[in-house]
Homo-oligomer: A and B are copies of this chain.
Amino acid sequence: MIIVMNGKTDDADVEKVIHKLYEMGHKVHISRGERRIILGVIGDVENLASVPFYAFNGVEEIIRIVKPYKLASREFKDFDTIIKVKDVIIGGKEVIVMAGPCVIENEKQIFETARYVKASGAKILRGGAFKPRTSPYSFQGLGEEGLKLLAQAGEETGLAVVTEVMSVNQIELVGKYTDIFQVGARNMQNFVLLKELGKTKKPILLKRGLSATIEELLLSAEYILSQGNYEVILCERGIRTFENYTRNTLDLSAVPVLKRLSHLPIIVDPSHATGRWRLVSPMAKAAIAVGADGLLIEVHPDPRSSLSDGAQTLRLDTFTQLMKELSPIAQAVGRELGTSAENDLERMKN
């Protein structure tokens, strides 16, 4: 940690800061310049995190040098985390596609989608039963009925399933049906929820908040890891900027940055990021090219009748087409995608 003080600060005031540092058990390096006095503290400064140095006279800036997260950092663990869900490997050579409707509507919809995305090469089925909707008047999901349908569709097709949990009081119920818990962007800093999920034994798909920095995403992952659950999948899904042609701005540079800072797998959600189905395919391709470990894509048999987010949802045939186009890009960056599935799709047609 570096504490920058004004060069004209009284010696007594400088002394107060130094004294505080000694009191907290730290050795201080002092560099005096004409305009600035710099105090450097090396080593484990965790216990200084909540000392309000800005409240001391003369202090102009506090610079934290060691990252505030640990378990999520590549320094803590320098090989990639691999997460196994049923027989799917997330974070390995294969790029994993998770697909399905925004919200589970009925048996026909989720089963038809499940069979189709499975045949096209998706490995995980997504679908919402509890939906965080901006307006209280929008459809909020089928609740447990939806969870049951999702689990059944997963079982029939052999797909693992992922669905959102919005609150601590839903964890037990959702956990009965899902293979992976999803934490939505709006809940990325719902710290009570993160801590409780850290006590479960299932992987957590953690979406980046709309205005969360990369560091904050890793700190939220740290909340889960610190409770003993090491299986966190990070998800970039667009941040909020002034540009409003797209729903959000997909920050694809977050993928290589997170790969460098952390050992956790990172997937990309081009559907929520863009909010427009025409942009899903190009952004999905870019996500693979930039090094994502997986994709989360909204697919629906009939987006026009979808009860949520239809505008950004792919039709089944568009999804199949996309999967075909993604495969060579995955290969171009040394990965694999849905290859084993091609035969299935052929069989399904015959």
Q: Hey, which bits of chain A sit against chain B, CB under 8 A?
A: 2, 4, 20, 29, 31-36, 38, 40, 42-43, 46, 49-56, 61, 63, 65-66, 68-69, 75, 132-139, 166-170, 186-187, 189-193, 195, 209-211, 213-216, 219, 222-223, 226, 239-246, 249-257, 260, 273-274, 276-279, 282-283, 285-291, 303-304, 306-313, 325, 328-329, 331-333
Q: How many identical chains are in the complex?
A: 4
Q: Are A33 and B38 in contact (CB under 8 A)?
A: no
Q: Are B38 and A32 in contact (CB under 8 A)?
A: no
Which one of B136, B246, B277 lies within 8 Å of A223 (CB-CB)?
A: B136
Which one of B69, B166, B244, B255 lies within 8 Å of A192 (CB-CB)?
A: B166
Query: Of all chain B residues, which has the CB nearest A170?
Result: B192
- Within the assembled complex, what's the spacing in Å between the Cα atoms of A256 and B246? 11
Which one of B31, B209, B278, B282 lies within 8 Å of A42 (CB-CB)?
A: B31
Q: Pick the most buried of A40, A53, A189, A250: most chain B CB atoms within 10 A of its CB.
A: A189
Q: Are A54 and B252 in contact (CB under 8 A)?
A: no
**22 A/B residue pairs, CB under 8 Å, sorted by A:** A33-B66, A35-B66, A40-B40, A46-B137, A50-B306, A54-B310, A54-B312, A55-B313, A134-B216, A135-B222, A136-B191, A136-B219, A136-B222, A137-B226, A211-B211, A215-B245, A239-B249, A246-B257, A256-B282, A289-B289, A325-B333, A329-B332
- Within the assembled complex, what's the spacing in Å between the Cα atoms of A211 and B213? 12
Q: Is the interface of A mostly helix, strand, loop or mixed?
A: mixed
Q: Are B167 and A313 in contact (CB under 8 A)?
A: no
Return A6 CB to nearest CB of chain B, in Å. 9
Q: Are B256 and A253 in contact (CB under 8 A)?
A: no
Query: Of all chain B residues, which has the CB nearest A314?
Result: B55
Q: Are B213 and A245 in contact (CB under 8 A)?
A: yes
Q: Pick the most buried of A52, A251, A260, A283: most chain B CB atoms within 10 A of its CB.
A: A52
Return A222 CB to nearest CB of chain B, in Å. 5
Which one of B214, B274, B331 lies within 8 Å of A243 (CB-CB)?
A: B214
- Within the assembled complex, what's the spacing in Å between the Cα atoms of A71 and B74? 43
- Within the assembled complex, what's the spacing in Å between the Cα atoms of A33 and B31? 17
- Within the assembled complex, what's the spacing in Å between the Cα atoms of A223 and B134? 9
- Within the assembled complex, what's the spacing in Å between the Cα atoms of A136 and B169? 21
Q: Which residues of B contact A46 (CB under 8 A)?
A: 137
- Within the assembled complex, what's the spacing in Å between the Cα atoms of A126 and B333? 27
Q: Are A167 and B186 in contact (CB under 8 A)?
A: no
Q: Which residues of B contact A241 (CB under 8 A)?
A: 239, 241-242, 249, 251
Q: Are B33 and A42 in contact (CB under 8 A)?
A: yes
Q: Are A132 and B279 in contact (CB under 8 A)?
A: no
- Within the assembled complex, what's the spacing in Å between the Cα atoms of A169 and B213? 28
| With A51-B310, A226-B136 as contacts: A253 and B249 at CB distance below 8 Å | yes
Q: Are A2 and B38 in contact (CB under 8 A)?
A: yes
Q: Which residues of B contact A55 (CB under 8 A)?
A: 277, 303-304, 306, 310-311, 313
- Within the assembled complex, what's the spacing in Å between the Cα atoms of A326 and B164? 37
| With A50-B307, A223-B136, A279-B257 as contacts: A214 and B36 at CB distance below 8 Å | no
Return A87 CB to nearest CB of chain B, in Å. 27
Q: Are B42 and A65 in contact (CB under 8 A)?
A: no
Query: Of all chain B residues, which has the CB nearest A326?
Result: B332
Q: Are A245 and B214 in contact (CB under 8 A)?
A: yes
Q: Which residues of B contact A38 (CB under 8 A)?
A: 2, 40, 42, 65
